[in-house]
A and B are shown apart, each in its own frame.
Chain A
Amino acid sequence: MMKSIIERISQGKFWQFHGGIHPPEQKKLTSEKPIRNIALPKQLILPLQQHIGSQGELLVTVGDKILKGQPLTKSLNPMSVPVHAPTSGIISAIKKSVIAHPSGLSELCIFIDVDGNDSWIKREICNDFKTLDKETIINKIASAGIAGMGGAGFPTHIKLSAKPEINFLIINAAECEPYITADDLLIREQSEAIIDGIKILDHLLTPAFILIGIEDNKPEAIKALQEATRNIEKIKVCILPTKYPTGGEKQLIKVLTGKEIKSGSLPINSGIIVQNIATCFAITDAVIHDIPLIRRVVTVSGKSLGKPQNIWALLGTPISYLLKQCDHTHENNNKLVVVMGGPLMGFSISNAQVPIIKTSNCILAPSAIEMPSAFSGKSNEVECIRCGQCSDVCPSQLMPQELQWSAKAKDYDQLNKLNLFDCIDCGACAYVCPSQIPLVEYYRIAKAEIRQQQLFDVKSEKAKTRFEARKIRLEKDKTARIEKHKKAAEARKAAMNNSTPEANGAKSAVAAALARVKAKKAASNNQKKSISNKEQHESNDQNHESSLKSNDNRKAKISATIAKVKAKKAQEASISKEVELNDSVTSTLKITDDKKVRIAATIAKAKAKEKEIDNKEEKVTFKSSSKNNQQKEST
């Protein structure tokens, strides 16, 4: 079977995936200029998480001087990769800032004030990577912070630690989205380095075949790749017809090998690994030149820019700086549209401080004439007329019109039956819809809701189990307690009925205690609250009474606190809570200075409420303790 696949590939007869669209490419805006190097910006904003997985642990603090390439975070678990300083400078702040995500939410970022020296930390060049063993290479890739640069951001070292036999290593150079030419230019200018990176991958994974998938609208890049691989039999440059979304992982695999990845499983399970071509370049930098991932090629394009071009951008560069470098002009309408990513899958940016991260391949600033639908204020959505153009173009062979009916009706069961989660969010359906329905938006909302619902269901189950378990435990405790009391009462009765001196003493002690309690009760109009449960626990502490505070100040404060609390409770008319603050309660109270202010303010309030509250002047006794390193809990 493999042989037949290779035969077809060598002859250039590729497979096809269903659907796909041909939006205007607009690549000429930037494809004829080289990648530009720009001056260092004044400040860099580095989010701690620029990949799928979890954040790393910070290694630096505010005020630290850092060098270019210095690791700023440490990865704690395999699913996180570190971030590195893109240039030298001082860390001015570590705080939450808007990140490159469609939600516009803020996450923790490191703010670096650039000092302009661009001084490197010490690096070790490795001239022949074949001398390194696989473990070392993977560690180098991991500690260089490399994540998938095609847009997903999956930590590369995990993908490369694959154990099973790899049939195909596919290098994704398709770049199917309009406007984006970052990979195109990178190939043209750095084809040797990229092939080195592919050789490193070959050394690591030893695949049977290596395929570079590239669309036919990049003739110069194809030539460069063919030149660089002319002596390497194993690597085949596959020229694919231009169609969006050929660059999608599943679609690329289908086109190149004819295989379909089973829904819900990963390509590795079919012996295929896909890597973006820019990631290969980063791997070369990391393994050979010991350069961590600190910069990437970003296409800054769109007709509202004076000089649209590809730029070598340092990670953490704010978007506003890039737009200024390309002569961005605001137009006269009130809307500023900046998209991170391509026109079909990119998200709108809400804030000029959003930084470039490892997965940002394009900044798009279109003009209103160029992309009128991006500027439309009101939604032009009309009813779906079931024309079927959307299902004609869907690369996952779904039925978008049925999905949107179910999504609007919030029919989650039907959505699962229609395979909503196989949707890759490519936007082809919404691109062609004559009724201008924002289909992808509905699916995203539905997917988020379904995920939320699943989490909620799991949580409910847990809560139910805990509730049931608690009920059983309380029942058990209750019966055990009743047993114990019965036994103790019997023992006591038996003891008391003998007239021994101890028994008499016990009797009088009990009588005296009873009298004390009665007196107290008479002086107060306490309403009892039935202390439910844990009485066994409390009975151990019940007779702890200690002396009053030495500090009068403290006592006043404590009474004031209690009074304040009582005032509040008395105000709550809807819920009648009866609290019994009697001498059977023991607690520890820590008083800090902040409370002085609070307590003083509420003392006045509490005094005003004194009429309603019977100031029992309970000798609430406290034991001041330092921390909870005291007695062990006895349950």
Chain B
Amino acid sequence: MIINIIIAILVLGSISVLFGALLGYAAVRFKVETDPIVDQLDSILPQTQCGQCGYPGCKPYAQAIANGESINKCAPGGEDTIKKIASLLGVEVEDLDENHEKDNRPKVAFIIEDDCIGCTKCIQACPVDAILGAAKQMHTIIIDECTGCDLCVAPCPVDCIEMRIIPETIQNWQWDLSKIPVKSLD
């Protein structure tokens, strides 16, 4: 009787050892190299480097998320980014943090040249070097590089920078038929 039990234990034990060894070998031999999680998170974030999340740039925020920071702090990324991060990390989707800009349409900065005093404070503030200018020279925004992060507006001592919504053109029209202004013929 006892011998049967011992045989059973031995057989099952050896089978499990065998399969465990096989699995372990496969895990090492066929390992797939994936991006570290920080890089994957960084590739989801919109790269505006605006700092609205409280971190000096998108990569630091990605690192913070990897260390447990909440995922709902990116305002320019919006709902879509939160959903993507949530699905990557396997956590729950949260609503966007309350204190952020409500209007999320893409904007670029614009310097009112009449008022510009050439102080270079905005140039120092821009995280992607999208402002062209020098001391005592006119400053201007390079629209193609501007990410709309808003960081240049506050440092300007004469308040000559405003954020303008990118206008809708034929090239970037998104086929929203409900927004076409219809002429009434009455």
Contact = CB atoms under 8 A, between A and B. Distances in A.
A and B touch in the complex (CB under 8 A): yes
B58 A464 contact: yes
Contacts of A452: 172, 174
A330 B138 CA distance: 57
B172 A467 contact: no
Given A452-B174, A633-B137, A351 B127 contact: no
B170 interface: yes
Interface residues of A, number: 61
A469 B49 CA distance: 13
A621 to B, nearest CB: 12
A445 interface: yes
B181 A467 contact: no
A28 interface: no
A466 B114 contact: no
B145 A448 contact: no
Interface stretch (B67-75, B85-93, B155-163): B155-163
Interface in B47-74: 47-49, 57-58
A630 B136 contact: yes
Interface in A541-574: 541, 561-562, 565, 568, 572
Interface in B20-64: 42, 46-49, 57-58
Interface string B174-186: 1111001111010
Contacts of A470: 127-129
B118 A463 contact: no
Contact of B185 (A352, A467, A592): A352
Interface stretch (A69-77, A138-146, A356-364, A579-587): A579-587
Contact of B145 (A445, A449, A462, A568): A462
Nearest to B128: A466
A467 B127 contact: yes
A460 B46 contact: yes
Given A103-B173, A594-B114, A630-B136, A587 B119 contact: yes
Contact of A534 (B48, B114, B124, B177): B124
Interface string B108-145: 00000010011110011001111000111110000001
B181 A579 contact: no
Contacts of B128: 463, 466-467, 470
B174 A101 contact: no
A631 interface: yes
Given A104-B180, A452-B172, A463-B145, A586 B159 contact: no
Nearest to A541: B135
Interface string A64-95: 00000000000000000000000000000000
A234 interface: no
A444 interface: yes
A633 B135 contact: yes
A113 B174 CA distance: 34
Nearest to B58: A464
A562 B158 CA distance: 7
Interface in A582-605: 585-590, 592, 594-595
Contacts of A568: 159
A147 B63 CA distance: 53
B103 interface: no
A625 B181 contact: no
Contacts of A594: 114
B168 interface: yes
Given A107-B170, A587-B119, A336 B127 contact: no
Interface in A527-543: 532-534, 537-538, 541
B174 to A, nearest CB: 5
Contact of A461 (B47, B155, B172): B47
B4 interface: no
A394 to B, nearest CB: 20
A565 B115 CA distance: 12
B77 to A, nearest CB: 10
A366 B124 CA distance: 61
Contacts of A464: 42, 47, 49, 58
B12 interface: no
A185 B130 CA distance: 56
Q: Which of B123, B124, B136, B185 has the most CB of A within 10 A?
A: B136
Nearest to A585: B119
A283 B158 CA distance: 58
B136 A628 contact: yes
Interface in A420-476: 441, 444-445, 448-449, 452, 456, 459-464, 466-467, 469-471
Contacts of A590: 114
18 contacts: A105-B173, A444-B175, A448-B173, A463-B48, A466-B129, A467-B47, A467-B49, A467-B128, A471-B57, A533-B124, A534-B123, A572-B154, A581-B157, A587-B117, A587-B136, A588-B136, A595-B114, A623-B136
Interface of B: 42, 46-49, 57-58, 114, 117-120, 123-124, 127-130, 134-138, 145, 147, 154-155, 157-159, 168-170, 172-177, 180-183, 185
Given A532-B124, A581-B157, 16 more contacts: A104-B180, A107-B170, A351-B183, A441-B175, A452-B172, A466-B130, A467-B57, A470-B129, A537-B120, A537-B135, A561-B158, A586-B136, A587-B157, A592-B114, A633-B134, A633-B137
Q: Which 10 A-B pairs have the closest CB atoms?
A: A633-B134, A587-B117, A104-B180, A460-B47, A466-B128, A103-B173, A463-B47, A351-B183, A464-B47, A628-B137
